[in-house]
Chain A
């Protein structure tokens, strides 16, 4: 199955959650250990939610879904998410 989008399009949906621009952050895959820029993740969606997978091993790294009163964010597949800090 071909991914419908890539992580660039997560910028808007994740701007509701993060104070910084998150597509330049580095996601470390909990499955294979590969470091990927969030913009490079393979993204499937948009409904019922967005699912971002590791470009190396296809493991699910991030899921984000919006319901009527909540945003659900699942980062369980990531070993870490390294965000660029201001001034860093």
Chain B
């Protein structure tokens, strides 16, 4: 028999982040702690026994038995609409994790870090930003691509942290609708955006790219073309366009 690593977890709080993204705070038994960038698998079981599971990035640092995930509701999704809209406080799900050892940032890393997020790809990168505050002085730059200002997840906290967390810079790329005072016209992220807000390759940054598959492929290709070493580029794709 293979072992089963699922553990029960109860919802203790939920916070809306945008019109379509919700943060869920779950309490699991005997949570061993996690690293920024790691994820959990969440499993739902219907009354008839049908099960479905999906992976969600952990959004916040280790805090006892509490785990925060931010769920983007996908219109035709099987799991995300239930988690985002219907799961109520005290309801139980099952968790497996913490998972993953590759798309991970450790506070003992000293090199500069570039984070590139597309949409809800911000979630594991936010975990890195939150852990960095108070544990590391590694310089961080975040480039966050969203469709419109209303789609920014963690917008207020990122504004506050870019002012208060020394060594953290935040740049926004709007693909469809830009704020009125933004000199950059709306459009997909370009090599110029990476050059303006990232690190030059000779600074030897570690780069974490997370977002829809097409976004990640495109950013990784731009980074390679400008001379970033493939071994310092870490990617995480969550499907979609």
> Which of A's residues lie within 8 Å of B, judged by CB?
2-6, 8-9, 11-12, 15-17, 21, 23-24, 37-40, 71
Contact = CB atoms under 8 A, between A and B. Distances in A.
A5 B238 contact: yes
Contacts of A17: 2
Interface of B: 2-5, 39-41, 53, 55, 96-97, 99-103, 213-214, 216, 234-239, 241
Contacts of A5: 55, 213, 237-239
Contact of B100 (A3, A39, A40, A71): A39
B4 A6 contact: no
Nearest to A70: B2
Contacts of B96: 12, 15
Give the one of A2, A12, A37, A38 with max B CB within 10 A. Answer: A12
Contacts of A40: 235
Given A12-B53, A39-B102, 6 more contacts: A6-B213, A9-B39, A12-B96, A12-B97, A21-B100, A24-B101
Given A23-B102, A24-B101, A15 B5 contact: yes
B239 A4 contact: yes
A8 B102 contact: yes
B237 A71 contact: no
